[in-house]
């Protein structure tokens, strides 16, 4: 490395590249080399083995089954359970109260 003030970063970068070249030859990765990562995988045999283990352990309680079904339903809004608020549907007033309000305000 020289004692010049300018071009130090560039010179250091070139030295690192030369050192990397001398260490070994790098093979460029192509999409064809890594296509196994992107191919769809069939996991049915593994899933069947896990299900048989669950049945052998007799761990298929109703809570476990319901958790599995809920997990596999998906996260779409149409699959979510709606919690209805009963307090918003009921009223404090009775029919007699409504009739009295009608008489007071209408007549």
Residue 25 pLDDT > 80: no
* Cα-based angle 81, 85, 90 (whole degrees, multiple of 5): 145
Q: Give the integer Cα–Cα distance in Å for 91 and 81.
A: 25
Query: Domain limits of the chain?
Result: 46-73
- Statement: residue 43 has pLDDT above 70: yes
In this prediction the pTM is 0.27
Residues whose CB is less than 8 angstroms from the CB of residue 57 and which lie 6 or more positions away in sequence, other chains included: none
| pLDDT > 70? residue 44 | yes
Residue 28 has pLDDT above 70, yes or no: yes
Mean pLDDT over each residue of the chain, to the nearest integer: 78
Residue holding tokens 């030295």? 15
């Amino acid at each position: 490395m020289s004692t010049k003030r300018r071009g130090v970063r560039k010179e250091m970068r070139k030295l690192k590249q030369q050192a990397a070249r001398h260490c070994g030859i790098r093979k460029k990765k192509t999409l064809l080399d890594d296509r196994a990562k992107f191919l769809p995988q069939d996991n049915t045999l593994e899933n069947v083995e896990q299900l048989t283990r669950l049945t052998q352990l007799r761990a298929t309680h109703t809570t476990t089954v319901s958790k599995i079904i809920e997990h596999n339903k998906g996260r779409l809004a149409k699959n979510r359970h709606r919690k209805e608020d009963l307090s918003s549907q009921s009223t404090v007033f009775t029919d007699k109260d409504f009739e009295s309000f009608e008489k007071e305000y209408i007549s």
